[in-house]
Amino acid sequence: MLKTKLSLALILFFISFSNSLLAQEKLNAFFPGKIWKDNNGVHINAHGGGIVEYKGTYYWYGEHKIEGEKGNTAQVGVHCYSSKDLYNWKDEGIALAVSDDLKSDIAKGCILERPKVVYNKKTKKFVMWFHLELLGKGYEAARAGVAVADKATGPYTFIKSYRPNAGKMPFYASGTPLTEQVNCDKPANKSDGFFCRDLPGGQMARDMTVFVDDDGKAYHIFSSEENFTLHLAELTPDYLSHTGKFIRIYVGHQTEAPALFKKDGTYYMVGSGCTGWAPNPARWFKSKSIFGPWEFMGNPCEGEKSNITYGGQSTHVLPAPGKKGEFIFMADKWEPKNAIDGRYLWLPVKFDKGDIKISWLDKWDLSIFK
């Protein structure tokens, strides 16, 4: 009897040992564009994502895609992974689940894109913002959604979705000539027209990110005005609403996929053009103040395929762990025909006399940063 028990234990031990070997070899580098396996040996499913660091652990949140063309709709929710080193990621499950209630704003099958989580030090809550499109309405709703959790990994509770800043005019620095300000009595261009159309009900909010400044204030940056113009909008101290103070950036030039970061008191933003799931040239901006003026600086990418961001589109820029003033550019290589196969392009950001540069690397690790 004892012998049988022992051999059973041995068999079980070997099964779990070989499973763990099969599960995932430990990574010590980034391989942009390649399959990136989690601790279970499964390709990471966190597209259009962002990362928050909390107490030495990194949490990566992104859109959980499924196989096939339907895969770009939210059939599951927002997936979360955790890591200590940014190379090896543990599956933490679904942080925000879509709802089976068809009346819910986040009903299964809606479009829920580019989730970004920030930690609010005052309320001690994790706050998730995302771009939300209501079930069956294509990209017409253009809403911002917000959810909240006590733990980084969730579960997140959905709070509300809406179009921001209803009835509010943009903030302009004193001295801004009237000719540079939107005038809803006489909109000067197409984008101004969309802005004025949406003034009563709130501004459209699609591709987005959230940025927390050194003073703890948070900002929601999103493609608005039928994707023609970016808005950068201040959030309330609890990060759960908009204060009504916002600016418009690069009016009429169709910027998507914004990702913000700050180095030595200067604000940087990387984004893309607007060509659906197809890649286009990245673009970057810089500003001395969060409320602008934001200067358009061109394409930060260099070398082969820099005209299509190496096949990707920006989603987040992450401060490199333990390397002050160094950053990682994160992009998605979308696979619209089989969304779950989308890949991740992470590349180091280089600083060159006030400019930023991004170059392709097949393989790299954090020792690249001085």
133 contacts ligand DGJ (rule: CB under 6 A): no
The number of angstroms, rounded, from the C-alpha of 193 to the middle of its chain's C-alpha atoms is 28
Query: Rounded to an integer, what distance in angstroms lies between the CA atom of residue 49 and that of residue 276?
Result: 17
Query: Rounded to an integer, what distance in angstroms lies between the CA atom of residue 156 and that of residue 147?
Result: 6
The CB-of-81 to ligand DGJ minimum distance in angstroms stands at 19
114 contacts ligand DGJ (rule: CB under 6 A): yes
Q: Where are the beta strands (DSSP E) in 77-228?
A: 77-83, 90-97, 111-120, 125-133, 143-149, 157-162, 208-212, 218-224
Contact 89, 82 (CB under 8 A): yes
The residues with which 96 forms a beta bridge, in sequence order, are: 78
Member of 113, 192, 226, 234 binding ligand DGJ (CB under 6 A):
113
31 contacts ligand DGJ (rule: CB under 6 A): no
Query: Rounded to an integer, what distance in angstroms lies between the CA atom of residue 277 and that of residue 109?
Result: 18
50 contacts ligand DGJ (rule: CB under 6 A): no
134 contacts ligand DGJ (rule: CB under 6 A): no
Q: Which residue is nearest to ligand DGJ (CB)?
A: 276
The CB-of-217 to ligand DGJ minimum distance in angstroms stands at 25
The CB-of-143 to ligand DGJ minimum distance in angstroms stands at 13
How many residues in the shown chain lie near ligand DGJ by CB under 6 A?
9
256 contacts ligand DGJ (rule: CB under 6 A): yes
The CB-of-245 to ligand DGJ minimum distance in angstroms stands at 25
Question: Would strands 57-63 and 242-249 be described as parallel, antiparallel, or unpaired?
Answer: unpaired
48 contacts ligand DGJ (rule: CB under 6 A): yes
Strand order in the sheet with 301-302: 301-302, 355-359, 343-352, 327-333, 313-319
Of all helices (H) and strands (E), which one includes residue 301? strand 301-302
154 contacts ligand DGJ (rule: CB under 6 A): no
The CB-of-256 to ligand DGJ minimum distance in angstroms stands at 5
226 contacts ligand DGJ (rule: CB under 6 A): no
Q: Which positions touch ligand DGJ (CB under 6 A)?
A: 48, 113-114, 207, 256-257, 276-277, 313
